[in-house]
Each structure stands twice: as structure tokens, then as C-alpha cells.
Amino acid sequence: MGFRLNSSQTDQKKNITTRHYFFETFNFLEKLDPKQPEKSSYVCFDTYGEKLKVRSLLDLQTAFYENISQLK
């Protein structure tokens, strides 16, 4: 089980890369600066398109498994 990279865009001026990943009904966006990977940010959307608060990779993992459990 894994995410699929849907798109990736880089803002050359700010040196920020935005990646869109999805799996089934779970979507998330990752914004990262290669020079400061610790400042990466994530935005997730559930089955209904509602925005989920995600501050860390652990939050991302929790949100993902909650979403998957609702599909059964």
C-alpha cells in the first residue's frame, strides 16, 4: 500500500517544491524547501474534501489510516 505522486511543481524564485500525492480517497500536498527539510508542511483532504490539520508525519499517518478504515 502506498501513495502515488500525482504532480510536482517547483517555484524557482522561492525554491519551494509542492507535491500532490493520493491513494484511493486520501489526498495530501507536501510543500518543502530542500535547504530546510525540517520546515516541510502538509495539507490533507479526507473523503469528503474536508481539510485535515497535519503538523507532522505522525499526524499524516494517523489521518491516512483513519481514512482507510472508513473505506471498509
pTM of the shown model:
0.73
Q: Is the pLDDT of residue 12 over 70?
A: yes
Rounded Cα distance between 64 and 23, Å, is 9
What is the residue range of 52's domain? 4-71
Q: Give the helix/strand (H/E) hosting 71.
A: helix 57-71
Rounded Cα distance between 48 and 43, Å, is 14
pLDDT digits (tens, 9 = 90+) for 14-72: 999 999 988 877 888 899 988 888 888 888 887 788 888 788 878 888 888 887 777 66
Q: How many domains in the chain?
A: 1
Contacts of 13 (CB under 8 A, 6+ apart): none
Rounded Cα distance between 57 and 30, Å, is 11
